[in-house]
Structure 1
Amino acid sequence: MTRNQTAVVRRGPSGGLHRSTAVVLGVGMALAMSACSSKADKVAAAPSVQVPSPTSATATPSTVPTAKATADVLAVYQAYTDAKVAAMTTGHADPDKLLLVATGDAYDNLAGDITRAQQAGIVYKGTEVTHPQVTALNLSDSPQKATLTDCIDVSNWTAVFSSTGANAAATGMPGHLFVNVEAVQNTGSTWRISAYTPDRSRTC
């Protein structure tokens, strides 16, 4: 007595295709093997379905907060630089406007520099050219924090006496100044510069 081969294709728990085959030796064995091979070819030839990688699916959204924070930090650093240049070139500063872009040591040091320049009768001419880079972001802290570095071109940034216009800059001043900068995100999701430290031991 002979039996023909019976092939059952069912879907396994993982979603793939599995073959459960019962084979009984007999006169129709060669025919059954041929049918099995034909069905296997059809299964192999079926178009594969590509499943999106979980890594690529989650990578894009995770970069959004970082990109926004980087842009916001660079924007407040530019606003801080603009406020500093405006105050030092005119000899006057609005404390309320400075508080919008600076806090902590950065505010105290900038306000102190402006006061000392006023007392010495010194203003600045020209402008600073900045090249800031955000080197670190910590968005898990509260407040959030950022670290920047900058190589400032100060070759066109000159101290003069407001009464005479004579050069008031110290001799041997470099044309570039390296600074370490820190920023924090305070109440209302507003970034402010919290530390601004020139490092004259470094060249750039």
Structure 2
Amino acid sequence: MGSTAAKRVAAVLGGLAVLAGVTSCGSSAKPAPTPPSSPAANSASASPSPDPSAKAKTDVLAAYKAFTDYKTAAFTSGRADPTRQSQVSSGDAYQSLAQDLFRAEQEGVLYKGTEVTHPQVTAVDLTASPQKATLTDCLDTSAWTAVFSATGANAAASGQPTHVFYNIAAAQATDGTWRITEYTPDRGRTC
């Protein structure tokens, strides 16, 4: 490339550089405004409010799981925890569980294995004060064995059913959490 051509290219490039600097630093042009979002776009992105009944059912099932987890831990360890027990149960369920745990401790009985639950929420009353719910469960105890803690020998009475139907009630406590309030076997029903 000749020196004249090189000078022209340099001049053009220099001019472009100056022009780019002027437009980027001193430009009075305003950026294009962002178009406002449409109401339809805003409402589509907002999540619908949850169904209170569905949320209550989910909360009740979680409360029942916490109750059965505590019950399993207490019977397999042989140690009740009244504070934890009061967080998952109240009323008749609390009393009945406390009596069963005391009886097992007095007889030197522990449990091994796990119970398998199949709970279903059958009703929720959100107009009651406190709010209430009822559940049923077909408890599978085939892998849940009573043993004497001193010897490990089987402590289960013969002829015990391995599937027991339970009627369960729950109520919402003043702190907003749910507690199991009744936990009653229904030996007249099979599952």
TM-score bracket for this pair, using the shorter chain length: 0.7 to 0.9
**Secondary structure at the residue paired with 2:51?**
helix
Sequence identity percentage: 65
* Corresponding residue number in structure 2 for 1:177: 164
Q: Deviations over 1:117-151 (max 9, x none)?
A: 00000000001000000000000010000000000
* Corresponding residue number in structure 2 for 1:193: 180
* Corresponding residue number in structure 2 for 1:69: 56
Q: Deviations over 1:47-94 (max 9, x none)?
A: xxxxxxxxxxxxxx7861011100000000000000000000010011
Which amino acid in 1 is paired with 2:106? Answer: Q
Distance 2:174 2:72 in 1: 26
Deviation at 1:188, TM superposition (A): 1.3
Which amino acid in 2 is paired with 1:201? Answer: G
* Corresponding residue number in structure 2 for 1:20: none
Work out which of the residue numbers 37, 51, 74 in structure 2 matches 1:87.
74
More strand by share: 1
Which amino acid in 1 is paired with 2:75? Answer: M
Which amino acid in 2 is paired with 1:197? Answer: T
Which amino acid in 2 is paired with 1:88? Answer: F
Deviation at 1:111, TM superposition (A): 0.6
Distance 1:98 1:184 in 2: 15
* Corresponding residue number in structure 2 for 1:126: 113
Deviation at 1:172, TM superposition (A): 0.6
Greater RCO structure (CA 8 Å; 6+ sep): 2
Distance 2:188 2:148 in 1: 28
- Please provide the CA RMSD for this pair: 1.4
**Secondary structure at the residue paired with 2:93?**
helix
Query: TM-score, normalized by length of structure 1?
Result: 0.69
Distance 2:160 2:99 in 1: 21
Which amino acid in 2 is paired with 1:64? Answer: D
Segments of 5+ residues of structure 2 without an aligned counterpart are 1-47
Which amino acid in 1 is paired with 2:129? Answer: S
Which amino acid in 2 is paired with 1:77? Answer: Y
**Secondary structure at the residue paired with 1:137?**
strand
* Corresponding residue number in structure 2 for 1:112: 99
Segments of 5+ residues of structure 1 without an aligned counterpart are 1-60
Distance 1:63 1:105 in 2: 32
Work out which of the residue numbers 101, 118, 131 in structure 2 matches 1:144.
131
Runs of 4+ in 1 over 2 A off after TM superposition: none
